[in-house]
A and B are shown apart, each in its own frame.
Chain A
């Protein structure tokens, strides 16, 4: 099993540019999560999907952020336009739900975004 795959691993861009982060969840997993990791705030949930449908996007900071999941094996997180305060590590995680208390998220390696 390849695990959760994220691309790119590193992205450096200039303020105002559009940034697209990509995620391939583990095959068969029915939940997908996008997180942002910063020193100040730790890991924050941005949005999550169940069976490709967005369930809760209340963590998305503002309208500049959008996420899609067109099929079970692919999701994108887009920032347009990007700002320096968006610089962070963005993680994708997936989970196969058994409906029980022990369901565990599996994380990708993250995308380190730097906005100059």
Chain B
């Protein structure tokens, strides 16, 4: 059974702190790794799709790295703001079929002003 693990489950930081969390996935049959940001009562929003080992993506204060050989991706937030409070989901795609996408349970980030 394919498993995607995210850690930590939840994180509480102060405004201005930088933070990072991890997504671990199987290192075989890699196709792509997606990061989503999900605010309560809103739609999960696509942040990044990463496909190559060593990929680095950046969007404002948020960045992500990818290591397909060892099966992990890191998401970093620099200088966290209260509006960054959300659950961050990663999803591992393991083949060409569009249905081959497994989600982690997410890391819930709370940023206190």
Q: Name A's B-contacting residues (CB within 8 A).
A: 3-4, 31, 33, 42-43, 45, 48, 50, 55-56, 91, 95, 97, 101-110
Contact = CB atoms under 8 A, between A and B. Distances in A.
Given A4-B43, A109-B43, A102 B99 contact: no
**Most chain-A CB neighbours within 10 Å: which of B31, B46, B99?**
B99
Leading 10 A-B pairs by shortest Cβ distance: A42-B105, A43-B103, A107-B44, A107-B43, A101-B51, A109-B43, A101-B32, A104-B46, A56-B99, A102-B49
Contacts of B106: 42
A95 B98 contact: yes
B99 A45 contact: yes
A76 B51 CA distance: 32
Interface of B: 31-32, 34, 36, 41-46, 49, 51, 89, 91, 93, 97-99, 101, 103-106
26 contacts: A4-B43, A33-B99, A42-B106, A43-B89, A43-B91, A43-B103, A45-B101, A48-B98, A48-B99, A50-B98, A55-B99, A56-B97, A95-B98, A101-B31, A101-B32, A101-B51, A101-B93, A102-B49, A102-B51, A104-B46, A104-B49, A105-B101, A106-B43, A107-B45, A108-B43, A109-B43
A70 to B, nearest CB: 20
B6 to A, nearest CB: 9
A33 B89 CA distance: 17
Contact of B44 (A50, A91, A95, A97): A91
B45 to A, nearest CB: 8
Contacts of B101: 45, 105
A42 B103 contact: yes
Given A4-B43, A109-B42, 14 more contacts: A43-B103, A45-B99, A48-B98, A101-B32, A101-B49, A102-B51, A104-B34, A104-B46, A105-B46, A105-B101, A106-B46, A107-B43, A109-B41, A110-B43
